[in-house]
DNA sequence: ATGAAAGCGCTAACAG
DNA sequence: CTGTTAGCGCTTTCAT
């Protein structure tokens, strides 16, 4: 185990550089030495020290993932897993590992964590998960011009690459679907308003109502964290209104689950008394009861493309920034219409 | 950005070693130099190169997580997220980052990935997720005596630390609960039988029936992967039996969801026609319809303790192996009894 | 309290 | 095709 390149070299009777070349599959190595070195490596159970290699090559074959704090809470939303699944499916093929930035001594904030990760040279590029309206991380990435990509979009124009959905359009489409079903009192369960994604989805909801000439009612809009509990309490508020909504756009499936629970406890039947559309189409959406209509934003695809973009940025730093919009489509299930096919639902592509 | 310790040293008018000492908070540094160096670091936006540091200190402040392949599939089960949540909640406090081993060139198997991770010296210790009956990874860890901990238990006696539930007892308890409810035809939806956890849970089911003097019937036992689809098809098989079961122990919540879907499609009502107990108590279990009774094995706690153990092993390598059993308790919800309290359920601690 | 120097394990010119 | 040499940026004796 504790063997280094020198040990291998002397056992094989060659110089360290030759061993290095064999490891790197350098072409101009005689077949014979190659085999001798390989044998020595095997005998000593030699594994190259990636740290030493990193120090000289200045690459780590590792992609950093900055998880917004509070980390704990982030993991609670399946969004994360789906995203990570997409990311790893690509990194795996491309030979990159993934480093989660979680180290967090005394009061380290996201900024410090990011700078720590960048400065430490342990990653070749960084994927940022979700953006805030006033996001201090983006300027840091811009200044350092490290390969980086944001899942989401910057609130203000920026030089970094990003991969996102057209969240405004998606919310517009979801709301419009409910309008077409005959609803005109539609509640909106939104995420916290310092996230760009929340603002975009709310804007789409607004636009759809406006285009349908329906007056906005601030009572019908509540914001909460992307957690089940938030959906539950938000929904309780909405249903306590003098004139309750007959349909809900939940800007996250988890919020939708909370809403369904609240509705159930209040004795409303779904979809007979109340229609619900969720957002993200996490795997659980189809397992809800009734299966939940949800805007599929293809989270895994967001992750995949983000990984592809970052790898491209790493290998071709000269290429400028890229911005990618991932398609969305509404998956109709029984939380909106008892006529919908069970479980898998039917899909409306925009 | 591209500054190193020398740049800081010359700006501050000191030697590199002094800068190093300031960074490391070495006590014997005069207040004045300390401040001068700090100012220089700030001015140059200096961040220590963790790679270089790692090379000499032979520690990385990083914990490796080996995800069993196929990686993609692993992420599909919320078990992973819960586990990761527990792990990061501890590593975060302790100042460790987490490296996911995903790099997977042409046909790399788990063994190669593990050896790669260990040999590369990029991690101070390794957490292994889930163990197989014939697990080739455990011997590797033993030979290399790298700090390591297994979430699960080794199939054969081993020198590595592990954190696990008493899965046999847990399945025994789950099955016994159903027996007490008056069921005597109880089906078992198991995971793939090359996983230790699956074997243990099946053994617990066996033992409970034996203790109740009920003859085992191999028809009533089906194995599938820990995916919703597996639960669905497995359940379809069980319900097609001449004499169908009246209750199901699903050795994973996701299997339970699939079972509920199958039951629903076949027109059975839960719990009136059929009782279901799941395993793991993932957050989703309570959101199912009806909310699903589930054996809470405290996955996040598994992750937390695993992280604590690995950190202990790293800081005190002399300490021998540790084995920890995490408690389990059954959360009764309406998939077993319409009298159960909604959503959060009631808890039976063993 | 601070500096000089050696070295962690590897790669990459540059020779030959 | 292979060896020699000089670092990568940091820590750590050993001096002073």
Interface test with A, best of B51, B73, B115, B280 (most A CBs within 10 A): B51
In whole angstroms, give the CA distance from residue B320 to residue B273.
51
Residues 6+ apart with CB under 8 A from B323: B153, B161, B162, B163, B164
Which among B71, B117, B122 is the nearest to A88, CB-wise?
B71
Half-sphere exposure of A286 (CA within 13 A, CB side): 20
A168 Cβ neighbours under 8 A, 6+ residues apart = A200, A201, A203, A204, A207
- Residues linked to residue B90 through DSSP beta bridges, in sequence order: none
Please report the pLDDT score of residue A1 as a whole number: 61
DSSP secondary structure code for residue B132 in this structure = B
User: Which of A72, A99, A144 faces B99 most closely, judged by CB atoms?
Assistant: A99
| H or E element that contains A329 | strand A329-332
Residue A107's pLDDT is 63
Q: What is the CA radius of gyration of chain B?
A: 25
Q: Shortest CA–C1' contact from A18: which nucleotide?
A: D2
Q: What is the pLDDT of residue B288?
A: 82
pLDDT tens for chain A, residues 1 to 350: 678 999 999 999 999 999 999 999 888 888 889 999 999 999 999 999 999 999 999 999 999 999 888 887 788 888 888 999 999 999 999 999 999 988 776 567 888 889 888 889 999 999 999 889 999 999 999 988 889 999 999 999 999 999 999 999 999 999 999 999 999 999 999 998 999 999 999 999 999 999 999 999 999 999 988 888 899 999 999 999 999 999 999 999 999 999 998 998 899 999 999 999 999 999 888 888 788 999 999 999 999 999 999 999 999 988 889 999 999 999 999 999 878 887 787 888 87
- Tell me what percent of the residues of chain B surpass a pLDDT of 90: 73
How far is Cα A148 from Cα A154, in angstroms, rounded to an integer?
Answer: 13
B235, B254 Cβ separation under 8 angstroms: no
Look up residue A60 and give its DSSP letter: -
| pLDDT at residue A166 in the model | 98
Task: Give the torsion through C-alpha atoms of B286, B288, B291, B294, to 10 deg.
Answer: -70
Which residue carries 């990618």 as its tokens? A324
DSSP A350: -
What's the token pair of residue B243? 């004499």
For residues A45 and A32, what is the distance between their CA atoms, to the nearest angstrom?
Answer: 20
Contact A119 B81 (CB under 8 A): no
pLDDT mean over B317-337:
93
Identify the three-state secondary structure at position B247. strand
Q: Residue B132 — φ and ψ, nearest 5°?
A: -95, 165
> Which of B80, B93, B261 is closest, CB to CB, to A104?
B93
Instruction: Please check whether residue B322 is in contact with residue B307, taking contact to mean a CB–CB distance below 8 angstroms.
Output: no
* Cis peptide bond N-terminal to A271, omega within 30: yes
Query: Are B95 and A103 within 8 A, CB to CB?
Result: yes
Q: What is the mean pLDDT of residues B3-9?
A: 93
Q: What is the pLDDT of residue B107?
A: 63
CA dist B52 and A320 (Å) reads: 30
The reply to whether the CB atom of residue B31 sits less than 7 A from any atom in nucleic acid chain C is no
More confident residue, B74 or B325: B325
d(CA B169, CA B350): 9
What chain A holds in terms of domains, given with CATH numbers, is 5-57 (1.10.260.40), 62-166+299-327 (3.40.50.2300), 167-297+330-349 (3.40.50.2300)
Tokens for A243?
A: 């004139």
CB within 8 Å of chain B, chain A residues 90-119: 91-93, 95-105, 115-116, 118-119
C1' nearest to CA of B31: which nucleotide?
A: C1
- Cα separation, B5 vs B221, whole angstroms: 64
Query: Residue B78: its pLDDT value, please?
Result: 87
Q: What is the CA radius of gyration of chain A?
A: 25
Residue B17 has pLDDT above 80, yes or no: yes
Q: Please, which residues bridge with residue A213 across strands?
A: none
Close Cβ partners of B71 (under 8 Å, ≥ 6 residues apart): A88, A89, A92, B102, B104
CB count in 10 Å sphere of residue A81: 24
Name the one residue in this structure whose structure tokens are 């700006």: B11
What the block records as the tokens of B4 is 């190193």
Confirm whether any atom of chain C, the nucleic acid strand, is less than 7 Å from CB of A42. no
Whether A51 CB is under 7 Å from strand D: no
Name residues 43-62 of chain A with a Cβ under 7 Å from nucleic strand C.
Answer: 48-49, 52-53, 55-57
Question: Separation of CA B2 and C1' C1 in angstroms?
Answer: 29
Distance CA B282, CA A283 (A): 13
What would the pLDDT profile of B183-196 be if each residue is shown by its tens digit?
999 999 999 899 99
Burial of B115 (0-12, 13-18, 19+ CB in 10 A): middle
pLDDT tens, residue by residue, A200-219: 999 999 999 999 999 999 99
Mark yes or no for CB contact A97/B92 under 8 Å: no
Task: Report the relative pairing of strands B62-66 and B323-326 from DSSP bridges.
Answer: unpaired
Is the separation of the CB atoms in A278 and A250 below 8 Å? yes
Residues of chain B contacting A290 with CB distance shorter than 8 Å = 289
CA of A52 to C1' of D13 (A): 22
> What is the pLDDT averaged over residues B316-334?
93
Mean pLDDT to the nearest integer, B104-123: 83
Q: Give the C-alpha separation, A182 to B243, whole Å.
A: 47
pLDDT reported for residue B69: 81
CB contact (8 A) between residue B89 and residue A72 = yes
Which residue of A48, A100, A342 is in closest CB contact with B100?
A: A100
Cross-chain Cβ contact A49/B120 below 8 Å: yes
Determine contact: A260 vs chain B, CB below 8 A: yes
Given a cut of 70, is residue B1 above it in pLDDT? no
Per the structure block, which two tokens stand in for B62?
Answer: 């990083």
Beta carbons of B84 and A95 less than 8 Å apart? no
Does the CB of B60 sit below 7 A from strand C?
Answer: no
Where helices occur in chain A by DSSP H, the ranges are 5-12, 16-23, 31-44, 50-57, 71-75, 79-94, 110-119, 137-144, 167-180, 196-211, 228-239, 253-265, 299-315
pLDDT (0 to 100) of residue A119: 86
Give the integer Cα–Cα distance in Å for B342 and B290: 9
Reported confidence tier of residue B324, pLDDT bands at 50, 70, 90: very high
Cα separation, A321 vs B170, in Å, equals 53
Helix ranges restricted to H, A45-166: 50-57, 71-75, 79-94, 110-119, 137-144
How close, in Å, is residue A253 to chain B by CA atoms? Answer: 12
The reported pLDDT for the residue numbered B6 is 93
The rounded Cα B39 to chain-centroid distance in angstroms is 44
Q: Do B121 and A343 touch (CB under 8 A)?
A: no
> Which residue bears the tokens 């219409």?
A337
Q: Which of residues 26-55 of B touch A (CB under 8 A)?
A: 46-52, 54-55
Phi-psi region of A58 (alpha: psi -120 to 50; beta: other; left: phi over 0): left
Concatenate the DSSP letters of all residues of A279-308 into one string. ES--GGGGGSSSPPEEEE--HHHHHHHHHH
- Between the CA of residue B152 and those of A233, B133, B161, B164, B196, what are the distances in Å? 37, 11, 10, 5, 8
Query: To the nearest 10°, the Cα dihedral for B109, B114, B116, B119?
Result: -150
Residue A17 contacts strand C, CB under 7 A: yes
What are phi and psi for residue B150, nearest 5 degrees?
Answer: -105, 135
Nucleotides of D under 7 A from a protein CB: 1-5, 7-13
Contact A102 B122 (CB under 8 A): no
- Range 305-334 of A in CB contact (< 8 A) with B: none
Task: Pull the structure tokens for residue B313.
Answer: 């092993």
Q: What three-state secondary structure class fits B92? A: helix
Contact B103 A97 (CB under 8 A): yes
């Amino acid at each position: 185990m504790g063997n280094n390149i020198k040990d291998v070299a002397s056992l094989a009777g060659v110089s360290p550089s030759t061993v290095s070349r064999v490891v790197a599959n350098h072409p101009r190595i005689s077949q014979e030495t190659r085999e001798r070195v390989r044998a020595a490596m095997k005998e000593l159970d030699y594994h190259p020290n990636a740290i030493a290699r990193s120090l000289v090559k200045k690459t780590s074959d590792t992609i950093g993932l900055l998880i917004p704090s509070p980390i704990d809470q982030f993991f609670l939303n399946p969004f994360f897993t789906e995203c990570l699944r997409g990311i790893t499916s690509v990194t795996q093929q491309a030979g990159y590992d993934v480093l989660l930035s979680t180290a967090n001594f005394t009061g380290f904030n996201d900024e410090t964590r990011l700078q720590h990760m960048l400065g430490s040279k342990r990653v070749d590029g960084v994927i940022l998960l979700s953006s805030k309206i006033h996001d201090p991380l983006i300027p840091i990435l811009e200044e350092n011009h490290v390969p980086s990509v944001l899942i989401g979009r910057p609130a203000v124009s920026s030089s970094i690459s990003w991969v996102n959905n057209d969240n405004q359009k998606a919310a517009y489409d979801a709301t419009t679907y409910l309008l077409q079903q005959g609803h005109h009192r539609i509640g909106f369960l939104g995420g916290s308003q310092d996230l760009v994604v929340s603002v975009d989805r709310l804007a789409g909801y607004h636009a759809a109502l406006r285009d349908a000439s329906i007056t906005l009612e601030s009572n019908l809009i509540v914001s909460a964290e992307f957690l089940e509990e938030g959906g539950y309490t938000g929904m309780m508020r909405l249903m306590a209104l003098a004139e309750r909504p007959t349909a809900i756009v939940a800007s996250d499936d988890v919020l939708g689950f909370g809403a369904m629970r609240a509705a159930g406890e209040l004795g409303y039947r779904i979809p007979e008394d109340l229609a619900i559309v969720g957002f993200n189409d996490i795997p659980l959406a189809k397992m809800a009861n009734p299966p939940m209509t949800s805007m599929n934003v293809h989270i895994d695809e967001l992750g995949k493309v983000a990984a592809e973009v970052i790898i491209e940025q790493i290998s071709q730093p000269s290429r400028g920034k890229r911005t990618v919009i991932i398609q969305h489509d509404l998956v109709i299930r029984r939380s909106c219409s008892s006529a919908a096919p069970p479980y898998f639902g039917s899909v409306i592509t925009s």
